[in-house]
Structures are given as structure tokens and as C-alpha cells.
Amino acid sequence: MCSTCRLFRMRVAALLFTCVAFSAAAHGAHLPITVMADWCIFCWAFSFACTLLVLLVELFGLQARVPVSWSNFPITVACYATLLCLSAISTVFSCLAAVAYMGEVSLSKARPGEVAGYMATAPGLLKVCQTFLACIIFILISSPVTYDHHPALTWCMAVYCICFIVSMAVVVLCVGEWTGCLPIPFSKFLLAYGLLAVIMYLSATILWPVFQFNYRRNDDPDTIAASVITAINFLLYFADLVYSARLVDPIFAKPVSMYLFECDQIVAIQYLTSTVK
């Protein structure tokens, strides 16, 4: 079976599962009126709408007329939808939709020696995960607000916001094929931003739990969850920095772990080189 056919079937399955999950929640599940319930509805509705858009564009052959990079847009949507459905995995159909989107990401991800969009490589997928986890942090610390009783916590909130905005801007630049509009090479921009983000997230990883646990109970689930997700996002930004360093200068040292990244680096380098030209 060709990869295009498998992709189509995965997208149709994801479309059906998100539709059922959204419909059941909206009309029969009687979800409580909470922030998390609204988040679940948004996850399913967003995933359904974007998947339907991708299917319609490909069925009618309108890829060339869409004002975005079609090598980047579908996998970006699929990766976000995977994470969204996983976060709203309160129903069987949301779980099935997440599995279908995982299959689509796996089929769309760049293969060794294949020239693909930046978002189809590991660095691009890392950007999606970074922005998604930042959204989860925003939900955890904003209902109720838990970052306004100490300047260190306000700094952590600033870190989350700044890194989220810049990472999302990178995603938009890649999907819109606007990376050439930057005043510096895109690869160097990624390296500079990656280094800054790692330093900022390292400070937040240390400061957030230290100052939160001084003001709140140590068993507060939202505080603990925000601390854990902050640490995970720090690791994602560190991995992203490693990729960016390799893209800018191949002379950087290559420990054994670096060989795990080699295939995605080759694809990303090819994409960035073609963008600069």
C-alpha cells in the first residue's frame, strides 16, 4: 500500500474519531463547566477542523494555491492534534484519534536522505512540543493565578510567554515559508534563540519550584505538574539547541548521542540551505 493511501486513511480515521469525541462531549457527555472541559472541546474541534481542511485541500489538489508551505503544514497540524487529543484523552474516541494522528506523524516524518520541510524534521517537531507544553503550563498556573506573589515567579511567567511566542513564530515562519524574511540566516537565528531559551528555561526550572513551594502546599497538584512540565520543556529546548548548533557548524563535537540525530540533521540542513538560496 502506498504511503499516500496510508496517510489518507489515517486522516479519515482521525477525522471520524475527533468528530465523534466532539459530538459526544457537546451533546451527550454533560461535561462540567471548567477550564479543562473547555480545553478538551477546543482540542477536538481544532483537530477536526484542521484535519478536514487538509483532506479537502489534498482531495481537490489545491496545494499550490494555499498560501502556506504544504510540506510543513499537514505534519504541523498532525503533531499538534496528537498532543491535543492526548491531553483530552478522557474518551475512547479521543484516544483513537490520538493514535491515528501519531500514525500520520510517523508516515509524514522526514526519512534519511529525503528533502522535506523543516517541520517534518525532529527540530520542527520539537518546536511543536515546546509550544504545546507551554500552553499546558499556562492553564496550570492561571486558574487560579499562582505567579503574582513573588518577582521570581513573575520572571518564570515571562520566560514561558517569551519562549512560547518565539517558538510559535518559528513555526509560523516555516509553515508560511517566510524564513527568508529574517535579517540573519535562519539557522543562526535558531542557534541564538535556542541558547537564550535554554538559559531562560534553566532559570525557570530552578526558580519555579523553589519559590512556589515556599508559598503553597508541597502536595498541590498544579504546582507539581507545572514544575515537572517546566523541566521537560527545558530538556526539549536543550535538545533543540543541540540540533541548531549542528546545523550552523558541523565542527561541533559529536558524542555518541549525536549520531541518533544524524538523519534529521541532514534533512534539516538541506531544507535550511534551500531556504537561504
CA distance linking residue 262 with residue 118, whole number of Å: 15
Q: Based on the fold, state whether residues 74 and 153 are members of the same structural domain.
A: no
CB 261 within 8 A of CB 110: no
pLDDT at 204: 95
pLDDT at 170: 94
List pLDDT tens digits, range 82-100. 888 887 765 677 788 888 8
Q: Based on the fold, state whether residues 26 and 145 are members of the same structural domain.
A: no
List pLDDT tens digits, range 225-272. 999 999 999 999 999 999 888 776 554 444 433 333 444 554 555 555
pLDDT > 90 in the chain, percent? 33
Q: Which of 62, 88, 108 is the last residue of a domain?
A: 108
How many Cα atoms sit within 13 Å of 173 on the Cβ side? 20
pTM attached to this predicted model: 0.80
Domain-embedded: residue 113: no
pLDDT at 253: 41
Q: Which residue range(s) make up the domain with 7?
A: 1-108
pLDDT at 217: 57
Across the chain, mean pLDDT equals: 81
For residues 122-142, give the mean pLDDT.
91
Query: For residue 244, what is its C-alpha cell?
Result: 541548531
Task: Please tell me which residue, 251 or 161, carries the higher pLDDT value.
Answer: 161
Q: Based on the fold, state whether residues 100 and 158 are members of the same structural domain.
A: no
For residues 14-28, give the mean pLDDT.
78
Q: Based on the fold, state whether residues 126 and 232 are members of the same structural domain.
A: yes
pLDDT at 115: 58
List pLDDT tens digits, range 178-214. 888 888 888 889 999 999 999 999 999 999 998 887 7
Instruction: Describe the crossing of helices 73-87 and 3-27 by its angle, rounded to 10 degrees.
Output: 40
Q: Coil, strand, or helix at residue 247?
A: helix
Q: Based on the fold, state whether residues 79 and 141 are members of the same structural domain.
A: no
pLDDT at 155: 94
Give the domain CATH number at 12. Answer: 1.20.120
Q: Based on the fold, state whether residues 53 and 144 are members of the same structural domain.
A: no
Q: Based on the fold, state whether residues 137 and 67 are members of the same structural domain.
A: no
CB 272 within 8 A of CB 186: yes
Domain-embedded: residue 140: yes
Lowest mean pLDDT across 23-27, 42-46, 147-151: 23-27
Q: Based on the fold, state whether residues 77 and 153 are members of the same structural domain.
A: no
Q: Based on the fold, state whether residues 6 and 40 are members of the same structural domain.
A: yes
Q: Which of 108, 132, 161 is the last residue of a domain?
A: 108
Q: Based on the fold, state whether residues 100 and 124 are members of the same structural domain.
A: no
Domain-embedded: residue 240: yes
